[in-house]
Every structure is written in C-alpha cells, then in structure tokens.
C-alpha cells in the first residue's frame, strides 16, 4: 500500500486516541485506588498557565476530528466541550474515533493540494492540505496527547512509553 494522506494520518490518530483512552482508564483506576478525587487529576496541569488534563484531551480530540474533516473536505463536527469526568472523556474519544471511521479514505484523494483555512484564537491560518497535516494537525495532536500523558505521569500514574505507544 502506498502512503496517502489518509494512511499518513487517520490510522495513527485512531491508534493514539485508543492508547489515550487506555491511559485514562488507568488514571481513573489510580485515582480510585489512591482515594484521589478524579477532579484533581482532571484539573492537573504541568504549569499554571497550561491547560489541565481535561482540556488537553478535548484539544487532542478536536485536532483528530478536525484533521479528518478538513482533509476529507467536509464540515468539522462541533462538540459541546462539556465533559467533566473520565467517563465523559472516554465517550468523547469514542465519538471521535467513530467520526474518523465514518470518513472514507477516498474522500482524502487530492487533499494534499486542498485549500485549508482555520481559525485558532484570533488568528486565521491558510494551508495546502499536506502542509496542514505536517505542520499543524499532526504536531498539535501529538503535543496535546503527550501533554496529557505527561500530566498523568507527573501526578504519579505508573505509565510508560509502551502505554503511550500501545501494543503492536
């Protein structure tokens, strides 16, 4: 199989979201075993001006669904961002994976040259599809995923690289 925009993005994003879900399951079990209020972990951050764990997960999900939609040339689904628990984060991840599964690889054909425009904060960004994938979508997705991992590791969850990467 040759490398396409779909194969360069969606399988890895789905896998990493599944790995994140497994890590969140461990985090919820950890909180229960240590008698830690789950909101403490969900609100934990690496530095005061960084987003907390909960928001890191939401943003990783947003980058995955946004990438799938933009490269396929369809509307990005809107999520309400009302999650406040591990269970709701799990549902969010599952909904994101279901959305990615609904987008067919054929919809990505020609997306390397597709014009992509997005607003982030007060800024507007314009890319061609390949640059969007390589310079925006993937780096942002992995940044927020890794930050979620780091927050939990910093707070004592015994996870390692194999949890982050998942089983083969």
At 123-140, the pLDDT tens digits run 999 999 999 999 999 999
- As a residue count, the chain comes to 168
Inter-residue contact 72 to 80 (CB < 8 Å): no
Q: Where are the alpha helices (DSSP H) in the chain?
A: 10-33, 38-42, 53-72, 86-102, 129-132, 138-154, 161-165
Please, are residues 65 and 57 in contact by the beta-carbon 8 Å criterion?
no
Q: For residue 1, what pLDDT is reported?
A: 63
Instruction: Please choose, from the candidates 2, 9, 6, the residue with its C-alpha nearest in 3D space to the C-alpha of residue 134.
Output: 9
What average pLDDT does range 135-148 have in this prediction? 98
Q: Which domains does the chain have, with CATH numbers?
A: 10-165 (1.20.120.450)
pTM metric for this prediction: 0.95
- Under the banding of pLDDT at 50, 70 and 90, the label for residue 23 is very high
Residue 167, pLDDT score = 75
Conformation bin of residue 35: beta by default, left when phi > 0, alpha when psi is -120 to 50: left
pLDDT score at 8: 97
For residue 41, what are its two tokens? 């972990």
Q: What is the pLDDT of residue 2?
A: 85
Element (H, E) at 127: strand 123-128
């Amino acid at each position: 199989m040759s490398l396409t925009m779909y194969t360069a993005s969606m399988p890895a994003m789905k896998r990493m979201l599944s790995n994140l879900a497994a890590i969140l399951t461990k985090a919820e079990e950890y909180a229960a075993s240590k008698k830690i209020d789950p909101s403490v972990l969900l609100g934990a951050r690496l530095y005061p001006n960084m987003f907390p764990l909960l928001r890191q997960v939401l943003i990783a999900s947003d980058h995955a669904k946004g990438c799938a939609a933009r490269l396929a040339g369809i509307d990005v689904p809107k999520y309400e961002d009302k999650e406040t628990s591990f269970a709701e984060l799990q549902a969010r991840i599952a909904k994101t994976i279901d959305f990615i599964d609904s987008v067919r690889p054929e919809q990505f054909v020609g997306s390397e040259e597709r014009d992509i425009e997005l607003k982030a904060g007060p800024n507007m960004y314009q890319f061609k599809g390949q640059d969007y994938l390589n310079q925006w979508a993937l780096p942002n997705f992995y940044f927020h995923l890794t930050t979620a991992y780091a927050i939990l590791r910093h707070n004592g969850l015994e996870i390692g690289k194999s949890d982050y990467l998942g089983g083969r």
